[in-house]
Structure 1
């Protein structure tokens, strides 16, 4: 069993405070996990950054009907040492918005929306998911995960449902550049394979909620066997992060009646997968380029036959 310390921050450096441009995305991502009083503070600063930046900690507490302690706790949860630091970020965010770049807001899809409006709303939601994921993604953690994958003896990927589809996409990409990779959607096979992992191998768990047992359990086993572990999740404070050496955070899913979170979360996950793939391909280019060319050549006749049959 591995002797590595566990916990959401085990083996990872404290993240730097988010840039002002990333603050709105972080509020959207963390709001569901906050207490109701902290949500009121978060909603206030997200809705009126300029107005809140002008308030003292006492003023913001009075405006939101909370306490000064709640304001400070919210500031720290958002990644700032204290409220003074959050005020500076809010002022910068207000200036950013005043320059004509307000954060996009996507309305829920109604059952009677015209299809053209559905297309527009979905397209906007996809753009927002990608922007939020890019803002939340820790490049230091991404670089570390890329480095581990580039030198891995073997890669196991765990995920179920929509996350399982994303896992298959990652594995398919890694296989085409010459890595030995396997996607495991069956939880029993996932654990069985995780038992065989050793130092030098990499295990990747994909769970938007951070609570998916069928992804967490094999990641835990891989962690204890000494493999390098990576979590792709919308909840970096979730259980899956306890067994991850590197955590890659995706955007918060905007769930609605006609669009479950599993659908909207997949957009951010696929962006992370593409970032991992490109990073690994860059680091292993001398091997990856010939392998990718060989895979294209091996499949070319299949595409030619289909084209001729049309």
Structure 2
């Protein structure tokens, strides 16, 4: 059974000096071997350089590193034993022994051919057929990594909050704003009250109106987009249940999130920036949220979906003009 820990976070009440809200968090289980490389890609940018060396070493050669003691891996990467242990814990493992077990499992998967190598970056002169193949592979890998690393306990708690919400506000800027609009539209189609905000001023204005029983969702790959963090903070302070969908589980946005859903991305390149690859994983997470809510509210959701479909059918071009 997962260990349950309670924590206090700053920012309670409605700004009237009330005591901080008490949070109950469930510690996530150690990532499965298949999720290890995804965790490395997600967390490496926020690690210290010495921790990056450890993380990159275990992702590049899981079989070799699985055979090393903590001292041996520290020597291989030019770091310290303490750095190796800290890296293992940051990746989600209680200690180095657990990381070694995951590395052995990942090595076995790779040897069996179930964990394909990452394709090379797209080059300017790649034939279009090769571009399609590389993008398709990267999209598949991103989805697999996100699914493997997604904390289903946090996901279930987020679904519960959305199911019971009086109102849901969703914040996103740029590509994440498109994802926010998609989630809002989905929730509206099953009869729930949802608003997507891409204007930071309107987002904060709406967040001030939220209370306990409402939900606020921030979507930000970097986890540090101020225009998204600020309305989430305001919603948090006013008692709403807050959710962060982010590629940086240690980013500033998580300070104001009751539930954190981590996304993964393909490797960035000149022709494929983070905004493109992150959107794929974000869409998977919101589809999981929406499907979970629809399951919980099926008796009302199914008729609402049917009604919205019927209404949209009449907006289509008449059959004789197609």
TM-score by length of 1: 0.95
1:110-149 residue pairs with structure 2 within 5 A?
A: 110-149=123-162
Report the counterpart of residue 269 of structure 2 in structure 1. Answer: 256
Give the secondary-structure state (helix, strand or coil) at the position aligned to 1:11. Answer: strand
1:211-290 residue pairs with structure 2 within 5 A?
A: 211-290=224-303
User: Does structure 1 conserve the Cα–Cα contact (< 8 Å) formed by 2:141 and 2:266?
Assistant: no
Farther off after superposition, 12-21 or 269-278: 12-21
User: Does structure 2 conserve the Cα–Cα contact (< 8 Å) formed by 1:171 and 1:182?
Assistant: yes
Q: Distance in 2 between matches of 1:189 and 1:309?
A: 42
Report the counterpart of residue 78 of structure 2 in structure 1. Answer: 65
Deviation at 1:81, TM superposition (A): 2.0
Report the counterpart of residue 321 of structure 2 in structure 1. Answer: 309
Moved over 4 A (4+): none
User: Does structure 1 conserve the Cα–Cα contact (< 8 Å) formed by 2:26 and 2:153?
Assistant: no
Q: How many residues end up aligned between the 2 structures?
A: 306
Equivalent of 1:205, from 194, 207, 218? Answer: 218
CA RMSD of aligned residues (A): 1.4
1:11-90 residue pairs with structure 2 within 5 A?
A: 11-90=24-103
User: Does structure 1 conserve the Cα–Cα contact (< 8 Å) formed by 2:189 and 2:308?
Assistant: yes
Q: Distance in 1 between matches of 2:239 and 2:283?
A: 27
Farther off after superposition, 84-93 or 257-266: 84-93
User: Does structure 2 conserve the Cα–Cα contact (< 8 Å) formed by 1:104 and 1:128?
Assistant: no
User: Does structure 1 conserve the Cα–Cα contact (< 8 Å) formed by 2:146 and 2:262?
Assistant: yes
User: Does structure 2 conserve the Cα–Cα contact (< 8 Å) formed by 1:58 and 1:68?
Assistant: yes
Deviation at 1:44, TM superposition (A): 1.3
Q: Which has the higher contact order (CA 8 A, sep 6+)?
A: 1
**Which stretches in structure 2 are left out of the alignment for 5+ residues?**
1-11, 14-18
User: Does structure 1 conserve the Cα–Cα contact (< 8 Å) formed by 2:34 and 2:145?
Assistant: no
**Which stretches in structure 1 are left out of the alignment for 5+ residues?**
none
1:115-194 residue pairs with structure 2 within 5 A?
A: 115-194=128-207
Q: Distance in 2 between matches of 1:94 and 1:5?
A: 43
Deviation at 1:255, TM superposition (A): 1.6
Give the secondary-structure state (helix, strand or coil) at the position aligned to 2:203. Answer: helix
User: Does structure 1 conserve the Cα–Cα contact (< 8 Å) formed by 2:138 and 2:266?
Assistant: no
Give the secondary-structure state (helix, strand or coil) at the position aligned to 2:25. Answer: coil
